[in-house]
């Protein structure tokens, strides 16, 4: 899932795997080291490997490269049974992961990361509801979504009343807290406090 912050990519991906593979266990590695160790130890078939913020797990470190190599092999020739790698990533990070490494990094095998990312099935999560979505909003029976649409149109969140998902995610409150007194940055920017909280 590729999408900006507060667009619902993590929740959408979670709901999708729960709908399609409800009985499969989910393994969520905490770091590139945790991912590499688990993949080398053998992931049971019919497992979902949850790679939220995949750029933090497929890194150009030795462990990140090992993890990507094992993933590539599993995707190509997993004889034990299927394994699903489910990942989320911001658009800029997705582009960076697809970029071929420098010659120095390629020598140590970092090119396998872009190979794995290029082989993925990509679903783009839009930043905003389309005008068509909003025009059909009268047909929506879910009171929470209807309230979010109404709130987004009144708040004109960051100048755009179509940012309904951001309202659902609490984005308006977050932005007001991080940028008080209406001192907004560009729409994809985060304050130093927000960046630290993601670490």
Amino acid 78: pLDDT: 65
Residues 114 and 182 in one domain: no
Q: Say how far apart CA 34 and CA 79 lie, in whole Å.
A: 23
The answer to whether 153 and 160 have CB atoms below 8 angstroms apart is: no
Considering the domain boundaries, does residue 184 fall inside one? yes
pTM over 0.75: no
Considering the domain boundaries, does residue 123 fall inside one? no
Amino acid 199: pLDDT: 44
Amino acid 154: pLDDT: 73
Residues 81 and 148 in one domain: no
Domain end position, chosen among 66, 88, 118: 118
The answer to whether 56 and 97 have CB atoms below 8 angstroms apart is: no
pLDDT over threshold 70, residue 134: yes
The pLDDT > 90 percentage for the chain reads 47
How many domains would you assign to the chain? 2
SS3 150: helix
Best CA proximity match to 34, nearest among 14, 57, 60:
57
What average pLDDT does this structure show over 43-54? 93
Residues 84 and 135 in one domain: no
Residues 70 and 151 in one domain: no
Residues 111 and 139 in one domain: no
Residues 31 and 92 in one domain: yes
3-state DSSP: the chain helix, strand, coil percent, rounded to 5? 55, 10, 40
Q: Say how far apart CA 138 and CA 43 lie, in whole Å.
A: 46
Q: What is the DSSP letter of 7?
A: S
Residues 88 and 135 in one domain: no
Q: What is the pLDDT of residues 168-183, one digit of tens each?
A: 766 556 556 666 665 5
For residue 8, the number of C-alpha atoms closer than 13 Å in the C-beta half-sphere is 16
Residue 187: band (very low, low, confident or very high) from pLDDT cuts 50, 70, 90: very low
Q: Angle, nearest 10°, between helix axes 111-118 and 91-98?
A: 120
* Mean pLDDT rounded to a whole number for the chain: 82
User: Of the ranges 30-39, 90-99, 133-142, 164-173, which one carries the lowest mean pLDDT score?
Assistant: 164-173
Considering the domain boundaries, does residue 104 fall inside one? yes
Considering the domain boundaries, does residue 125 fall inside one? no
Cα 62 from chain centre: 23
Domain end position, chosen among 118, 148, 181: 118
Q: What is the pLDDT of residues 102-116, one digit of tens each?
A: 999 899 999 999 999
């Amino acid at each position: 899932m590729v999408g900006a912050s507060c667009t619902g990519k993590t929740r959408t991906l979670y709901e999708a795997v729960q709908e399609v593979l409800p009985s499969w266990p989910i393994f969520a590695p905490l770091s590139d080291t945790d991912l590499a160790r688990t993949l080398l130890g053998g992931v049971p078939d019919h497992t979902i490997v949850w790679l939220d913020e995949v750029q933090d797990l497929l890194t150009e470190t030795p462990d990140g490269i090992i993890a990507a190599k094992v993933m590539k092999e599993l995707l190509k020739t997993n004889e034990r049974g299927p394994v699903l790698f489910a990942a989320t990533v911001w658009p800029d990070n997705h582009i960076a992961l697809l970029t071929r490494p420098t010659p120095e990094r390629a020598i140590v095998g970092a090119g396998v990361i872009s190979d794995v990312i290029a082989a993925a099935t990509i679903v783009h999560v839009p930043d905003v509801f389309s005008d068509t979505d909003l025009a059909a909003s009268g047909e929506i029976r879910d009171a929470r979504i209807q309230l979010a649409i109404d709130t987004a149109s009144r708040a004109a969140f960051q100048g755009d009343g179509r940012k309904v998902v951001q309202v659902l995610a609490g984005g308006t409150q977050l932005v007001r807290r991080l940028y008080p007194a209406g001192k907004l940055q560009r729409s994809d920017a985060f304050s130093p406090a927000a960046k630290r909280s993601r670490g």
